[in-house]
Amino acid sequence: MGLPGEDGQGRAGAARRPDASGPCAAQKQTPLGIVAGSGAFPAAVAEAAGAEGREVVLLLIQGFADPALERYPHRWFRLGSLGSVTAWARARGVREVVMVGALTRPRVRDLGFDFTMLRLLPRIARLFRGGDNHLLSGVLGLVSEQGFTLVGAHEVAPRLLLPQGVLGARTPSETQQADIARGLDVIRALGPFDVGQGVIVVDGLVAAVEAAEGTDQMLARYGEMRRSGRLRFAAGKGVLVKAPKPGQDRRVDLPSLGPQTVTRAAEVGLAGIAFEAGGAIVPDAQALVEAADAAGLFVAGIGGHTA
């Protein structure tokens, strides 16, 4: 079973990046608002958007965003102060907003409500009664009602999308490709239940499914099962599969990969990582490939969305 997009050497062929002239192209003259959570992705999106000639304004979430982002025009805010921070952004000409970076689900009492959000409190409380898709879709609705157009990181920074094919020196075996296909089937089947975007499959066995704990904790749980003897797989077997949930709004919470994901996958004894091509973002693809090659893992993009 060959991987789509490979050349005869098992390497990724020339990956065609998505066209940058997406739905946000008409507003490139206006500053882009980047609502920044934690991790490396807000900086990567800001840099990529800037390279396209787009001015950026950072809306930094207190307790999550990296203070190094203060090098851009910015304002810090608490999650509950939507009214004041959106007024500030509008005054600076922001018309489009992208939400990027990790964000753990807060407690309602920790949000720090301003007057605008206090009026919406019953509605906000209902958003917390469900999975992440339910919560994020509700947040997108609230932001849209403030007069902004919501765009995805993949639209304003298409160079961050991972392409189709094998990205490094190693290629998955037929058994591992079967594990990848099974992992994608599991993610698609669980999508209606708003379960996470990752699964670990080893020799056809679904060994772990990502839920509210996230990918890192799922990997840690799998590693502990191996150490305790609950799972008796040798090192160098199994695949971490990442893909968006079916029906997921791709403007928020696209799966992400980085060198640290490779490191953790290697530490727990996996053979490689697979993702839906065009359905995962990475802040530094070269660093990802170098980490995978150094660890002896494969990284492969499987046919899916490319824009």
Start-end of H helices in 67-131? 82-91, 115-119, 121-127
For residues 149 and 200, state if they share a domain. Answer: no
Q: Which of 158, 175, 201 is the last residue of a domain?
A: 158
Please state the domain count of the chain.
2
Q: Any idea what the CATH number is for the domain that residue 145 is in? A: 3.40.50.20
Residue whose entry in the numeric block shows the structure tokens 């099962």: 225
Q: Which of 121, 137, 158 is the last residue of a domain?
A: 158
* Separation of CA 278 from chain center: 11
- Residue 9 has a pLDDT of 35
> 98-107, 225-234, 276-285 — which is least confidently predicted?
98-107
Residue 100 has pLDDT above 90, yes or no: no
pLDDT in tens, 176-204: 999 999 999 999 999 888 787 899 999 99
In the predicted model, what is the mean pLDDT of the chain? Answer: 82
Q: Which domain holds residue 117?
A: 25-158
Q: Which of 116, 131, 158 is the last residue of a domain?
A: 158
For residues 30 and 151, state if they share a domain. Answer: yes
| Strand runs labelled E in the chain | 32-36, 56-61, 74-77, 96-100, 149-151, 165-166, 198-202, 205-209, 239-242, 272-276, 298-302
Residue 48 has pLDDT above 60, yes or no: yes
pLDDT in tens, 261-289: 999 999 999 999 999 999 999 999 999 99
Cβ 97 vs Cβ 156: under 8 Å:
no
Q: Which residue has the higher pLDDT, 221 or 195?
A: 221
pLDDT in tens, 126-165: 655 555 544 555 666 666 777 788 898 889 999 999 999 9
> 5-9, 124-128, 221-225 — which is least confidently predicted?
5-9
pLDDT in tens, 7-16: 333 333 333 3
Residue 253 has pLDDT above 80, yes or no: no
- Taking phi over 0 as left and psi of -120 to 50 as alpha, with beta for the rest, 247 belongs to left
Q: What is the pTM of this model?
A: 0.77
pLDDT band, very low/low/confident/very high, at 18 (cuts 50, 70, 90)? very low
What lies within 8 Å, CB to CB, of 40 at 6+ separation is: 258, 283, 284
Cβ 244 vs Cβ 276: under 8 Å:
yes
